[in-house]
C-alpha cells in the first residue's frame, strides 16, 4: 500500500523543458502548419515559432490580413490542429 507520494518538481520541470517534449511540440506544430499551408493560396506565408516557457511550446501563424476572417469563417487553424490530433480548447483568462 502506498503511504505517501512525493512529486519530483525539478524532474518534472526538466522533462517539460527537455528534448522529448520539444520534439513532440515541434513535430505537431509542423503538422499543423503543413495542413494550414495546404488549404491556402501558395503565396500566403505560414510560420512556426518554437519557444520555451515552463515547457516547450510553439505557435503557428498565418501572416496575412485575411487570416482572422479565414479562422472566423472556416476555423482554419482549429481544423488543422484537430486534424493533427490535437485537442483545441478556448483560451480563458
Mean pLDDT by 10 residues, the chain (93 residues): 85 93 95 95 95 92 93 93 90 76
What pLDDT, on the 0 to 100 scale, is given for residue 44? Answer: 95
Q: For 55, which DSSP code? A: S
Which DSSP helix (H) or strand (E) runs through 33?
A: helix 19-38
The residues, ordered by sequence, that sit 6+ positions from 33 with a Cβ below 8 Å of its Cβ are 46, 47, 48, 60, 80
Full-prediction pTM beyond 0.85? no
At 25 the three-state DSSP class reads: helix
What pLDDT, on the 0 to 100 scale, is given for residue 63? Answer: 94
Residue 5 C-alpha cell reads as 507520494
What pLDDT, on the 0 to 100 scale, is given for residue 9? Answer: 93
Taking CA atoms, 20 is separated from 15, 24, 25, 27, in Å, by 8, 6, 9, 11
Amino acid at each position: 500500500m502506498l503511504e505517501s507520494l512525493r512529486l519530483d518538481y525539478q524532474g518534472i520541470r526538466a522533462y517539460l523543458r527537455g528534448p522529448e517534449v520539444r520534439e513532440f511540440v515541434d513535430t505537431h506544430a509542423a503538422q499543423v502548419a503543413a495542413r494550414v499551408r495546404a488549404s491556402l493560396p501558395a503565396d500566403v506565408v505560414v510560420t512556426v515559432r518554437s519557444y520555451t516557457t515552463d515547457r516547450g511550446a510553439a505557435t503557428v501563424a498565418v501572416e496575412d490580413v485575411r487570416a482572422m476572417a479565414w479562422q472566423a469563417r472556416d476555423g482554419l487553424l482549429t481544423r488543422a490542429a484537430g486534424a493533427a490530433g490535437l485537442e483545441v480548447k478556448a483560451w480563458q483568462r
